[in-house]
Amino acid sequence: MLRIEDQAREAGRTLLTLDTVTGAAAEPLYLSIGYTKVGVIPGYALRPDSAELDSTTVMYKNLNS
């Protein structure tokens, strides 16, 4: 993720956004490297192991901070 952020800065980007399945292991990882949680969209992410939908958490990181 840090390399991606460096590449984004080199390209003149100042803001990154992402989403991840709510409650997944990635969520606390992103928070720990400076992403801010914006909100949750219910029933958005299709589970790879079934036809069920999970919530997704939307996050952003300002690269100027």
Task: Return the pLDDT at 51.
Answer: 83
Those residues whose C-beta lies under 8 Å from the C-beta of residue 55, and which sit 6 or more positions away, are 21, 22, 23, 40, 41, 42, 43, 44, 45
Within 13 Å and on the Cβ side, how many CA atoms surround 20?
Answer: 16
Residue ranges per domain, the chain? 2-62
Helical H segments across 11-64, by residue range: 26-32
> Which pLDDT tens digits describe the chain residue by residue (65 residues)?
899 999 999 999 999 999 999 999 999 999 999 999 999 999 998 887 888 899 999 999 999 97
CATH superfamily of 2-62: Gcn5-related N-acetyltransferase (GNAT) (3.40.630.30)
Helix (H, G, I), strand (E, B) or coil at 53: strand
Name residue 37's beta-bridge partners.
59
